[in-house]
């Protein structure tokens, strides 16, 4: 399945825009009550603020001109009360809408993260870490900016604008219609231009993602850049990404900035229209001069929020482009679903491969006709030249991938019928590249282990002692509380492998795969590891992938994996002969 976000098919793309919008509405639906309340607050607030100038005008006309100061004070009092209510509704509207925005952002981020957790390993292999981080962070932040800063103004402006629009139409329908002609032009202009603007922003966001991926890759591997004298190379690659970003950013910036001058021009054109058409109407005797003066300011009331909308529209376009990039992730579905139907095939072994084929990309087959059988409590070794398919086989055992053809059976049932929880509890896998989280050694060896969720240090020490892991823990200066920073060089690869080993053993799986899990550990410590493995309950089936032969000498059965095929090797001696004579595919 294609998980590469930058190479989605157009069909996948098309599907996304429609579905994404639906999903956005779903996210809002929980906030319906707040949205209604906010809308009421906005309406009252805008109404009050629109009413203000009218009352001022009325006071001027009826009291100040006639020099009745008492009336001025009365209306001053009324205005004071109105302004006070406007303040309250203003507070309510900002608080409600901002709250909606913040909670939506929270829901949205959680939804993306949750989706990331649902997606299979191949998704992460097909996308760059820097680009994904940019999508979850930068793109949600663009949405956040829109929600927390612009959405309020956006809605407020639209409401004020509609109010003012109705107002000028109701005073004089013909003059009103003339005054609104430029607004229609603005709407058309916006509709025509928006897709282009959005595209420009999408291109820019993509290059931001690319640049972030570039930085991420180079900085995390800085030692190679130094040791191979490629500082200039780093500069050049970054420079290219930077220039590309500059180019797209200018494109997006020019597109985004086109709205403000055009909206300004057309708003002014509207004033001119009102002035000239108004004078024409006055000369025909169907309008008065006093009315024209106020009419011009009402028109300003309509066009000012529209001008604001020009700036907001830009941030809306950026937000939409970001939303597209996010929804590309949200709409991906994992192809590793749990299935219901039980296949006819059954097996009495703990794990059995029946005529399994596998391909990563659907074209180049990596494994062909694999038949394997792992029984309870026995130890198996997979040996063979590099690139022969050992790790891929192990990944199928733990269902990091599904077989393209054939069946993988766990306890006689199709492995796909197990829930992830059940499967991972039965199958342990020590990966070739150990990964540690930032935290302590304790955090890391208990990572994802539901059994020991809340143990104290003392209890854990006891558990470790019972699992014979004491000597391994002793290798860490501060034992359980040794601090680890993910991705740093502060502890050695061998130590990382030890933590991964302890982590897997403490989970007590029925089947444990060790994929070159001890490759960087010295041979004396490794002997310790094999004695620990030997003491593991006789129930545990071990599948060991190793190049070092002493690691596999105790295997009950040895499989020779080469060119995507698996053969039973019989004795260690025979396996070695095959290994020595075997042609490397890679």
Partner 1 sequence: MEKPKQEKKSSIFSLLASYRSLILLLILFALLSNGINLLLPKIIAHGIDSYTNGTFKIEPVLIQFSLAILLVFLFTYLQSIIQTYASEKVAKDLRSKLSDQISRQSHAYVIQANPSKLLTNLTSDVDSIKMFVSQAIVSMASSIFLIVGASILLLMINWKLALCVIAIVPIIGGAFFFVLSKVRVLFKKSREVIDWLNKVISESILGSALIRVVNAQMLEYHKFLDANGRARDLGLSILRLFAGLIPIIVFVSNLAGLCILVLGGHFVITNSMTLGEFTAFNSYLALIIFPILVIGFMSNVIAQATASYQRIESVLNAAEIKHPGTIQLDLIGAVEAKDISLSFGQKPVLKAISFSAKASSRTAIIGPTAAGKTQLLYILTGLINADSGEVLFDGKPINEYNQENFHRQVGFVFQDSIIFNMSIRENIAFSDTVTDESLAKAIETAELRDFVDALPDKLNTIVSERGSSLSGGQKQRIMLARALAVNPKILLLDDFTARVDYNTEKRILDNIQKNYPNLTLISVTQKVASVTHYEKVILLMQGEVIAEGNHEELLKTSPEYVQIYHSQQSTSNYELQS
Dihedral sign, Cα of residue 101, residue 102, residue 105, residue 106: negative
Whose Cβ is closer to partner 1: residue 18's or residue 228's?
228
Q: Please give the residues from 360 up to 379 whose contact with partner 1 meets the rule CB under 8 A.
A: 360
At a CB cut-off of 8 Å and minimum separation 6, what does 367 contact? Answer: 356, 357, 358, 389, 392, 393, 396, 564, 565
Beta pairing, strands 365-374 & 351-359: antiparallel
**448 sits near partner 1 (criterion: CB under 8 A):** yes
Whose Cβ is closer to partner 1: residue 167's or residue 238's?
238
Cα 455 → chain centroid: 33
Minimum CB–partner distance for residue 346 and partner 1 (Å): 25
For residue 545, the cross-strand partners are: 382, 515
Whose Cβ is closer to partner 1: residue 285's or residue 448's?
448
Minimum CB–partner distance for residue 150 and partner 1 (Å): 12
Whose Cβ is closer to partner 1: residue 20's or residue 108's?
108
**443 sits near partner 1 (criterion: CB under 8 A):** no
Minimum CB–partner distance for residue 93 and partner 1 (Å): 8
**335 sits near partner 1 (criterion: CB under 8 A):** no
* Strand order from edge to edge, sheet including 365-374: 365-374, 351-359, 405-410, 413-414
Minimum CB–partner distance for residue 219 and partner 1 (Å): 4
Alpha-carbon radius of gyration of the chain: 34
Whose Cβ is closer to partner 1: residue 16's or residue 204's?
204
Q: Please give the residues from 270 up to 289 whose contact with partner 1 meets the rule CB under 8 A.
A: 271-272, 275-276, 279, 282, 289
* Binding-site member from 6, 7, 62, 221 for partner 1 (CB under 8 A): 221
Q: Please give the residues from 101 up to 160 whose contact with partner 1 meets the rule CB under 8 A.
A: 102-103, 105-106, 109-110, 113-114, 116-118, 120-121, 123-126, 128-130, 132-133, 136-138, 144, 148
- Token output for 78: 């009324």
Cα–Cα distance, 318 to 302 (Å, whole number): 25
**484 sits near partner 1 (criterion: CB under 8 A):** no
- Note whether 125 and 400 are within 8 A (CB): no
- Note whether 525 and 475 are within 8 A (CB): yes
* Binding-site member from 16, 46, 59, 157 for partner 1 (CB under 8 A): 59
**296 sits near partner 1 (criterion: CB under 8 A):** yes
Q: Please give the residues from 528 up to 557 whose contact with partner 1 meets the rule CB under 8 A.
A: 547-550, 553
**231 sits near partner 1 (criterion: CB under 8 A):** yes
| Residue 576 CA neighbour count, 13 Å, CB half | 8
Cα–Cα distance, 16 to 327 (Å, whole number): 7
Q: Please give the residues from 390 up to 419 whose contact with partner 1 meets the rule CB under 8 A.
A: 390-391, 398, 400
**320 sits near partner 1 (criterion: CB under 8 A):** no
Whose Cβ is closer to partner 1: residue 15's or residue 417's?
417
**51 sits near partner 1 (criterion: CB under 8 A):** no
Minimum CB–partner distance for residue 550 and partner 1 (Å): 4
Cα–Cα distance, 407 to 321 (Å, whole number): 42
At a CB cut-off of 8 Å and minimum separation 6, what does 346 contact? Answer: 409, 412, 413
**196 sits near partner 1 (criterion: CB under 8 A):** no
Minimum CB–partner distance for residue 554 and partner 1 (Å): 10
Q: What's the per-residue H, E or C state across 552-583? A: HCCCCEEEEEECCEEEEEECHHHHHHHHHHCC
């Amino acid at each position: 399945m294609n998980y590469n976000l930058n190479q989605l098919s157009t069909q996948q793309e098309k599907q996304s825009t429609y579905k994404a919008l639906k999903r956005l509405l779903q996210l809002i639906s929980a906030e319906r009550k707040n949205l209604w309340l906010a809308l009421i607050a906005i309406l009252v607030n805008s109404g009050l603020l629109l009413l203000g100038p009218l009352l001022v005008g009325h006071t001027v006309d009826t009291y100040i001109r006639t020099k009745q100061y008492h009336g001025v004070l009365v209306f001053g009092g009324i205005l004071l009360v109105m302004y006070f209510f406007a303040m309250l509704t203003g507070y309510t509207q900002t608080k409600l809408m901002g709250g909606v925005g913040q909670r939506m952002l929270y829901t949205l981020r959680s939804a993306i993260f949750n989706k990331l957790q649902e997606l299979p390993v191949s998704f992460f292999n097909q996308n760059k870490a820097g680009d994904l981080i940019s999508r979850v962070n930068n793109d949600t932040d663009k949405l956040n900016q829109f929600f927390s800063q612009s959405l309020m103004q956006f809605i407020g402006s639209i409401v004020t604008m509609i109010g003012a629009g109705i107002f000028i139409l109701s005073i004089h329908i013909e003059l009103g219609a003339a005054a609104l002609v430029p607004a229609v032009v603005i709407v058309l202009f916006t509709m025509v231009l928006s897709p282009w603007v959005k595209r420009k922003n999408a291109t820019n966001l993509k290059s931001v993602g690319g640049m972030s991926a570039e930085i991420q890759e180079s900085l995390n591997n800085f030692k190679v850049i130094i040791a191979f004298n490629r500082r200039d190379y780093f500069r050049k690659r970054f420079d290219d990404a930077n220039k590309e970003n500059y180019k797209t950013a200018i494109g997006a910036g020019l597109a985004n900035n086109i709205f403000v001058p055009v909206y300004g021009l057309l708003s002014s054109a509207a004033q001119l229209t009102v002035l000239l058409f108004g004078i024409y109407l006055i000369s025909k005797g169907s309008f008065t001069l006093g009315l024209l003066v106020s009419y011009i300011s009402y028109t300003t009331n309509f066009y000012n929020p529209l001008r604001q909308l020009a700036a907001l529209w830009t941030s809306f376009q950026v937000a939409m482009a970001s939303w597209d990039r996010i929804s590309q992730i949200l709409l991906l579905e994992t192809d590793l679903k749990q299935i219901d139907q039980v296949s006819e095939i059954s097996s009495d072994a703990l794990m059995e491969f029946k005529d399994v084929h596998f391909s990563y990309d659907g074209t180049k087959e990596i494994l062909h006709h694999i038949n394997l059988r792992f029984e309870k409590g026995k130890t198996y070794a997979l040996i063979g030249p590099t690139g022969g398919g050992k790790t891929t086989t192990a990944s199928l055992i733990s269902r990091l991938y599904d077989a393209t053809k054939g069946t993988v059976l766990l306890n006689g049932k199709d492995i796909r019928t197990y829930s992830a929880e059940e499967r991972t509890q039965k199958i342990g896998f020590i990966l070739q590249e150990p990964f540690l989280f930032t935290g302590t050694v304790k955090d890391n060896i208990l990572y994802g282990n539901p059994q020991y969720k809340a143990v104290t240090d003392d209890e854990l020490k006891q558990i470790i002692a019972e699992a014979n892991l004491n000597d391994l823990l002793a290798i860490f200066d501060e034992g359980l509380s040794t601090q680890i920073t993910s991705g740093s060089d502060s502890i050695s690869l061998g130590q990382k492998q030890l933590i991964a080993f302890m982590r897997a053993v403490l989970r007590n799986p029925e089947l444990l795969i060790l994929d070159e899990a001890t490759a960087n550990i010295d041979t004396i410590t490794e002997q310790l590891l094999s004695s620990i493995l030997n003491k593991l309950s006789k129930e545990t089936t071990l599948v060991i992938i190793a190049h070092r032969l002493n690691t596999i000498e105790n295997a009950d059965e040895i499989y020779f994996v080469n060119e995507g095929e698996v053969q039973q090797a019989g004795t260690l001696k025979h396996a070695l002969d095959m290994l020595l004579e075997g042609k490397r595919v890679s």
